Chains A and B, each alone.
Chain A
Amino acid sequence: MDYSFAPGGTPFDGLLRAFYTRRGNTTLIAATAARNTLREFISHIDGSATVTKPIQDMLLGTHANAQGYLAATMFDNQIGRTGYEVMEDAISGRHTSDSTTPDTTLTSIAIPDTLIGYTTGPVANNFHIKGCNVGRATAFLQKMKEALGDHVNLTAPLHFFGLYQHTAYGIWEFLAYEFKLLSKTAFANRAALVTAFDNLGLTFYNGDPVPVADIETWVPRTITRAATTPLNLPLGISIGSRTTIGTERQFRYPGPEDYTFTINFPNASQVPSTPADRMTALENGLDSFKYRQSDTVGGFDPAHPYPEYERWGYSSKQDFLDEHDWRFEKSGSRLICRGRFHAYTLLVPITDRDPANLGNIIFNFHPNAGSPHAAITTGLVETDTNFFATV
Chain B
Amino acid sequence: METKDTLVVMAEELGKAMQPLVSASSSPGALRDFLEELGWDLAAVPASINALKGPAELATRMGAENEGVAAGDVQQMITAIRAAFEALGNLSNAGDLAAAMKNELPGQLLEYLLVEYLLKNQPSFGQLLKVVGIIRLEQIPAQAGRVAYLRRTFAFADFGSLFSDPLVFFKNAFKWGQSDFRGEEWSAALMELIRSWGFNADMETISPNALAKLTENSINPANDHITALKTYFLKSDNNPADLSAGAGLYLLPETAADKPGFAIMPFLNGKLEETIVITDKLSLAIKAALDLSGGVGIIVRPGKDITAFAGLDSGTPGSISGTISMLFSANGARDPFILIGKRDASRLEIGVVTAEAGTRFHNQGKFEVFTEFGIQQGKIVVKADGADGFLAQLLPGDGINVNFDLAVGFSSTKGFYFGGSGGLEIQLPAHIQLGPIEINAAMIALKPKDGELPLELAATIKGDLGVLKATVENIGLKAIFTFPQDGKGNLGPVNLAMGFRPPNGVGLAVDAGVIKGGGYLFLDFDKGEYAGALELTFSEVISLKAIGIINTKMPDGSAGFSLLIIITAEFGTGLQLGFGFVLLGVGGLLGLNRTMNLQALAEGIRSGGINSVMFPSNIIENAPRIISDLRAFFPIEEGKFLIGPMAKLGWGTPALISVSIGIIIEIPGNIAIVGILKIALPTEEAALIQLQVNFIGAIEFDKSRMWFFATLYESRVLFMTIEGGMGLLIAWGNDSNFVVSIGGFHPAFNPPPLPFPSPDRLSFNIVNTPVAKIRVLGYFAVTSNTVQFGVKAELMFGFDACKIEGHIAFDALFQFSPFYFIIQLSASLSVKVFGIGLFSVSVRMSLEGPTPYRAKGTGTISILFFDFDVDFDETWGETRNTSLPPIEIMPLVREEFNKLANWKAQLPAGSHILVSLRKIDETEELVLHPIGTLQVSQRYVPLGLTINKVGSQKAADVKKLTVSEEPSSGLSKTADLRESFAMAQFQDMKNEEKLSRPSFQKELSGLELSGAGAQVRTGRAVRRVVRYELIIVDNNFRRFIRRFFSFFSSLLFTHFLKRNAAARSVLSANTRSKLNPYTDKVVAGQAAYAVASMANNKAYGPVTSFASEALAREYMNEQIAKDPNLKESLQVISQHELNPAA
Contacts and interface: CB of A to CB of B under 8 A. Distances in A.
Given A216-B66, A244-B29, A334-B243, A260 B236 contact: yes
A329 to B, nearest CB: 6
Interface in A46-78: 63, 71, 73, 76
| 8 A-B pairs with the lowest CB-CB distances in the bound complex, closest first | A243-B29, A228-B120, A232-B30, A9-B227, A167-B148, A9-B203, A262-B236, A220-B65
A222 B225 CA distance: 39
Q: Which of A14, A243, A245 has the most CB of B within 10 A?
A: A243
Interface in B231-254: 234-240, 242-243
B273 interface: yes
Interface in B146-200: 147-150, 184, 187-188, 191, 195-196, 198
Contact of A71 (B43, B66, B202, B208): B202
A226 B120 CA distance: 8
Contacts of B1020: none
Interface in A271-289: 285, 289
Given A168-B147, A232-B24, A80 B66 contact: no
A261 interface: yes
B226 A228 contact: no
Contacts of A241: 32-33, 36, 41, 43
Contact of A73 (B32, B205, B273): B205
A36 to B, nearest CB: 5
Interface stretch (A137-145, A146-154, A251-259): A251-259
Contact of A220 (B66, B202, B234): B66
A71 B222 CA distance: 22
Given A243-B33, A244-B27, 14 more contacts: A7-B226, A9-B187, A9-B227, A33-B211, A167-B142, A189-B1, A228-B120, A229-B23, A246-B37, A258-B279, A260-B234, A261-B237, A261-B238, A336-B243
Q: Which of A76, A80, A219, A331 has the most CB of B within 10 A?
A: A331
B235 A260 contact: yes
Nearest to B122: A225
B896 interface: no
A11 B188 contact: yes
Nearest to B16: A227
Nearest to A218: B66
Contacts of A244: 27, 29-30, 33
A33 B273 contact: no
Contact of A329 (B65, B205, B221, B277): B277
Contacts of B32: 241, 243
A221 interface: yes
A122 B236 CA distance: 43
Contacts of A261: 236-238
Contacts of B142: 167-168
A245 B66 contact: no
Nearest to A36: B226
B271 interface: yes
18 contacts: A9-B225, A9-B228, A10-B191, A10-B202, A11-B184, A14-B184, A33-B221, A33-B226, A36-B227, A63-B202, A76-B208, A167-B150, A222-B65, A224-B1, A232-B23, A234-B27, A243-B29, A246-B34
B398 interface: no
A33 B213 CA distance: 13
A332 B180 CA distance: 48
A105 interface: no
A31 B225 CA distance: 9
B435 interface: no
Contact of B65 (A13, A224, A227, A336): A227
B116 interface: yes
Given A32-B222, A220-B66, A234-B30, A168 B238 contact: no
A325 to B, nearest CB: 11
Interface string B962-992: 0000000000000000000000000000000
Given A33-B221, A73-B205, A76-B208, A246 B148 contact: no
A243 B228 CA distance: 39
Given A9-B203, A167-B148, A221 B67 contact: yes
A168 B66 contact: no
A333 to B, nearest CB: 9
A8 interface: yes
Contacts of B276: 331
A19 to B, nearest CB: 17
Interface of A: 7-11, 13-14, 31-33, 36, 63, 71, 73, 76, 80, 167-168, 188-190, 216-217, 219-222, 224, 226-232, 234, 241-246, 248, 254-262, 264, 285, 289, 299, 327, 329, 331-332, 334, 336
Interface in B271-295: 271-273, 276-280
A264 B242 contact: yes
B243 A262 contact: yes
B548 interface: no
A221 B70 CA distance: 13
Interface in B727-753: none
B215 interface: yes
A71 B116 CA distance: 28
B932 to A, nearest CB: 99
Given A9-B184, A31-B226, A260-B234, A217 B66 contact: yes
B1071 interface: no
Contacts of A327: 280
Contacts of B191: 10
Nearest to B43: A241
Contacts of B654: none
A329 B188 CA distance: 34
Q: Which of B116, B142, B229, B238 has the most CB of A within 10 A?
A: B238
Contacts of B205: 36, 73
Contacts of B27: 232, 234, 243-244
Nearest to A165: B150
A168 B148 contact: yes
Contacts of B64: 221
Q: Which of A7, A245, A262, A334 has the most CB of B within 10 A?
A: A262
B20 interface: yes
B90 interface: no
A73 B208 CA distance: 13
A248 B20 CA distance: 10
Interface in B660-700: none
Interface string B66-87: 1110000000000000000000
Contacts of A256: 279
A254 to B, nearest CB: 5
Nearest to A217: B66
Nearest to A262: B236
Contacts of A219: 66
A199 B261 CA distance: 51
Q: Which of B67, B196, B226, B243 has the most CB of A within 10 A?
A: B226
Contact of B238 (A188, A189, A216, A289): A289
A285 B236 CA distance: 13
Contacts of A232: 23-24, 26-27, 30, 33-34
A76 B142 CA distance: 43
B585 interface: no
A188 B1 CA distance: 7
Contacts of B258: none
Contacts of A63: 202
A222 B63 CA distance: 12
Nearest to A14: B184
B421 interface: no
A221 B68 contact: yes
A246 to B, nearest CB: 6
A259 B64 CA distance: 35
B121 interface: yes
Interface string B27-67: 10110111011000101000000000000000000001111
B224 interface: yes
Contact of B215 (A33, A167, A248, A334): A33
B1018 interface: no
